[in-house]
Chains A and B, each alone.
Chain A
């Protein structure tokens, strides 16, 4: 998919995020176009995951503005930032889906109910419809035969694919993948990556990926940002970043991960 053709769907403007005294993002700007596939790479603690968590409304910010699909999630209010009304936040949140490093499936629900619960309870779909859609999504991620299994009986790769199906069930426009393969056994990484590839190729989601899998970033993203200490040190198309990095920090980081 060509980069930077569509309208802007996500915009960070002057965002500052602190955990106590620790500044994670300072005066951070980022613009993402609809349909873009963006990979965020960089050493741990560079603020990559925090960017996703802010978009998912899981973190508060201390200053700046965050806009998602035309709606302001955070607006500048003097030197601080103010969150929109709860109703507005829920409307914006509806457009975003997230997959977590540790899956976070609901352990007391079957695979199918994990996928169908939110459409049924939150979107208010009729139960049959929510479950029928849930079955379709399980089929999409290749787990149609596991619908009655509880997470505890599934491998990490299977759990993560169900987590992806669960996020898709809310029909988001934007998908956030937060180190989704980091907690997996090596042999199950592939099955999860295949699902992500499929979503990237055949659907028009805007996708943000935080990953240590440089292969994945290279393959499916059309834009890559290298972050360090809450700043974008270098960004560009994957061919440029991976093959001809200009910044020496980027080069050092890529050497370190590729050697590992």
Chain B
């Protein structure tokens, strides 16, 4: 070996071990990204109907939906993950750990997204509804052409931070044997009794994922701001 890695690291941290687990961890990163991004996209979509149902004129719809949303938001994601993993099969629904993980995370964060949409919707001045009505827009058309295009740019920052939260919550899926980053790192530790290096690397990869997704969200934010609102960034007035 041209470069002796052991020379560069302190005694308690074996850089050669860190490097040797990297291929395994990179493979696991693929799973982490897949599960998180899939769950995030579903949560983004799911949040909207959840909000509209919660805002329904019919109490019989609005109340139960509100209760379910509050319930899911107020209980730990880990509990929900276990619940889906162990209870659904009793009802004949057998899903792979990865799919179970996506279902649990998208549902959990879908409820949070509906709250994000709600605050975005509430930030639209009532005059916009008045104007849309005065121009004879139907309720659906007013949402589609007038209200939602104003809500979307306002919710991008909050939605983006949920993407980061979701990355950081994805290790919970190790509990149901999803071979994501944390699972693979801990597995390596147990097999070789080398915990420090894989878990440190795991942390660094999560840091990179968080920074990367923040950068992507910033880009989208800037893009949506300029495309929809002329040159200047839109600031809520």
Size of B's binding interface in residues, CB under 8 A: 23
Contact A121 B145 (CB under 8 A): yes
Query: Contact string, B134-170, partner A, CB cutoff 8 A, digits 1/0?
Result: 1111100100011001100100000000000000000
Residues of A within 8 A of B149 (CB): 108
Give the contacts of A43-72 with B (CB-CB under 8 A).
56-58
Q: Closest Cβ of chain B: how far from A35's Cβ, in Å?
A: 21
Q: Is B230 an interface residue (CB 8 A)?
A: yes
Residues of A within 8 A of B138 (CB): 90, 122
Q: Which of B125, B134, B138 counts the most chain A CB atoms within 10 A?
A: B134
Query: Contact string, A64-98, partner B, CB cutoff 8 A, digits 1/0?
Result: 00000000000000000000000000100110111
Contact B229 A122 (CB under 8 A): no
Say whether, besides A100-B131, A104-B130, A170 and B229 are in contact (CB < 8 Å).
no
- Tell which of A90, A102, A106, A152 touches B146, judged by Cβ atoms closer than 8 Å: A106
Contact A152 B237 (CB under 8 A): yes
Contact B229 A56 (CB under 8 A): no
Contact B230 A153 (CB under 8 A): yes
Query: Contact string, A110-135, partner B, CB cutoff 8 A, digits 1/0?
Result: 10000001100110000000000000
Q: Closest Cβ of chain B: how far from A83's Cβ, in Å?
A: 13
Instruction: Give complex CA distance A103, B134 in Å.
Output: 12
The chain B residue sitting closest to A119, CB to CB, is B135
Contact A152 B234 (CB under 8 A): yes
The chain B residue sitting closest to A148, CB to CB, is B230
Contact B127 A102 (CB under 8 A): yes
Q: Is A150 an interface residue (CB 8 A)?
A: yes
Say whether, besides A107-B150, A122-B141, A153-B232, A100 and B130 are in contact (CB < 8 Å).
yes
Q: Is A105 an interface residue (CB 8 A)?
A: yes
Residues of A within 8 A of B146 (CB): 106
Instruction: Give complex CA distance A103, B137 in Å.
Output: 17
Majority SS at the chain A contact face: loop
The chain A residue sitting closest to B126, CB to CB, is A104
Contact A58 B130 (CB under 8 A): yes
Instruction: Give complex CA distance A153, B146 in Å.
Output: 19
Q: Is A34 an interface residue (CB 8 A)?
A: no
Residues of B within 8 A of A104 (CB): 125, 127-128, 130-131
Contact B234 A122 (CB under 8 A): no
Q: Is B228 an interface residue (CB 8 A)?
A: yes
Instruction: Give complex CA distance A107, B229 in Å.
Output: 8
Contact A170 B135 (CB under 8 A): yes
Q: Is A166 an interface residue (CB 8 A)?
A: yes
Q: Is B119 an interface residue (CB 8 A)?
A: no
Contact A122 B137 (CB under 8 A): yes
Contact A121 B131 (CB under 8 A): no
Q: State the 9 A-B residue pairs at the shortest beta-carbon distance, nearest first.
A: A118-B135, A104-B127, A104-B131, A150-B230, A98-B134, A122-B136, A108-B149, A108-B228, A93-B136
Q: List 20 A-B contacts (CB under 8 A).
A: A58-B134, A90-B136, A93-B134, A97-B134, A104-B130, A105-B131, A106-B131, A106-B150, A107-B237, A108-B150, A108-B228, A108-B234, A117-B135, A118-B137, A121-B137, A122-B137, A122-B138, A122-B141, A153-B230, A167-B135
Given contacts A106-B146, A167-B134, 5 further A-B contacts (CB under 8 A): A58-B134, A94-B136, A103-B127, A108-B150, A150-B229
Residues of chain B at the chain A interface (Cβ within 8 Å): 125, 127-128, 130-131, 133-138, 141, 145-146, 149-150, 153, 228-230, 232, 234, 237
